[in-house]
């Protein structure tokens, strides 16, 4: 699967980083968000 780099907010290699797949889906590379309040 080919990924196209879209961008990042990282300044020193941290995440998140966004990619677009060949099918147009968006892939997010980063830490998993598990805090219930942050997921609301």
User: Tell me: the pLDDT tens digits for 2-38?
Assistant: 999 999 887 776 778 999 999 999 999 988 888 999 8
pLDDT attached to residue 3? 96
pLDDT attached to residue 13? 65
pLDDT attached to residue 31? 84
For residue 32, the SS3 value is coil
Q: DSSP secondary-structure letter at 27? A: E
Distance CA(9)–CA(30), nearest Å, equals 11
pLDDT attached to residue 19? 95
Asked if 31 contacts 15 with a C-beta cutoff of 8 angstroms, the reply is yes
This model's pTM is above 0.75: no
CA–CA–CA angle 23, 21, 38 (5° rounding): 115
pLDDT attached to residue 25? 97
Q: Give me the helices (H) in 1-40, please.
A: none
């Amino acid at each position: 699967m080919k990924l196209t780099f879209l961008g990042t907010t990282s300044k020193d290699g941290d995440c998140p980083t966004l990619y677009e797949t060949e099918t147009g889906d968006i892939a997010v590379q980063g830490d998993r968000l598990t805090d219930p309040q942050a997921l609301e």
